[in-house]
Chains A and B, each alone.
Chain A
Amino acid sequence: MLVQTKRFGQVEIDSSRVITFPNGLIGFPEFKEYVVLDFAGGNSVLRWLQSVQEPSLGFVTLSLYDVFPDYDPEFCPSDLADLGGASPDDLVLLSVVTVPPDIRKMTTNLQAPLVLNPATRLGKQVIVMSPEYTTRHYVFSTLESLMKRTG
């Protein structure tokens, strides 16, 4: 299928890669279908989350397991049940990145990760119950050192 994107033009993807967020994302309840796209720049920890329905709705996200291996929030069990009952080890966690004009001040939202279940292709943006994770966690230096290490 073809997905129209404002940022990258038209992208051909296999329709089996569409992830359905039955509740949409927080603040965007009306858009429920997304695809996760890799950037061409060879950076494997960042991904682009693109709305299938709305070309201008897209987000930079990062893979939480890769960038914050110690990230271990407390999830509400009912949120995980909504994803079709996978064990937490099988879930993919992405965190939405906010990129301001000064990219050194980029932050990521550790309080409300996107939880994806690859088996059911269901996703949910979940507010975690652990108070130590915030919506605006500075992430630039972490990404920078990660990229230096991996080349």
Chain B
Amino acid sequence: MLVLTRKRGQAIKIGDDVVITVTEIRGKGSKSIVKLGITAPPGTKVLREEVEREVAQEMDLAKDPAFDISLLGDKVKEQ
């Protein structure tokens, strides 16, 4: 992994079109927070990394539900 040191206001460029700027740094130790500004072409997917993990956890809760939900009828229609 490439590790770069940046100060507030400094940026990193990825490829030709993506710029990530450190806009704010505050707090100390485990409570420290950094705010990043991201410029990227329209349509570029930018996600907090944990979102996909949260969705995967939710999918795991949703799979094979053990519900007894009479309003559904616990059968599928003849297809």
Contacts and interface: CB of A to CB of B under 8 A. Distances in A.
Interface of A: 6-8, 11-14, 17, 25-28, 37-43, 46, 48, 56-60, 76-79, 96-101, 103, 109, 111-112, 125, 127, 129, 135-136, 147
B47 interface: yes
Contacts of A37: 76-77, 79
A8 B76 contact: yes
A145 to B, nearest CB: 13
A14, A78, A99 interface centre (most CB from chain B within 10 Å) = A99
**Most chain A CB atoms below 10 A, which of B51, B52, B66, B77:** B77
Interface stretch (B1-9, B19-27, B55-63): B55-63
Contacts of A100: 61
Interface in B41-67: 43-47, 51-52, 54-67
A28 B51 CA distance: 15
Contacts of B71: 41, 43, 147
B75 interface: yes
Given A13-B79, A46-B72, A59 B58 contact: no
Contact of B61 (A8, A28, A79, A98): A98
Sorted nearest first, the 5 A-B pairs with minimum C-beta distance are A41-B73, A27-B56, A40-B75, A77-B43, A99-B67
A39 B72 contact: yes
Contacts of A40: 73, 75-77
B45 A25 contact: no
A14 B79 CA distance: 8
A87 B69 CA distance: 35
A26 B72 contact: no
21 contacts: A7-B64, A25-B59, A26-B55, A26-B56, A28-B63, A38-B79, A39-B76, A40-B75, A40-B77, A41-B75, A78-B43, A79-B45, A98-B58, A98-B61, A98-B62, A99-B62, A101-B66, A112-B58, A127-B52, A127-B55, A147-B71
A77 B64 CA distance: 31
A76 B51 CA distance: 15
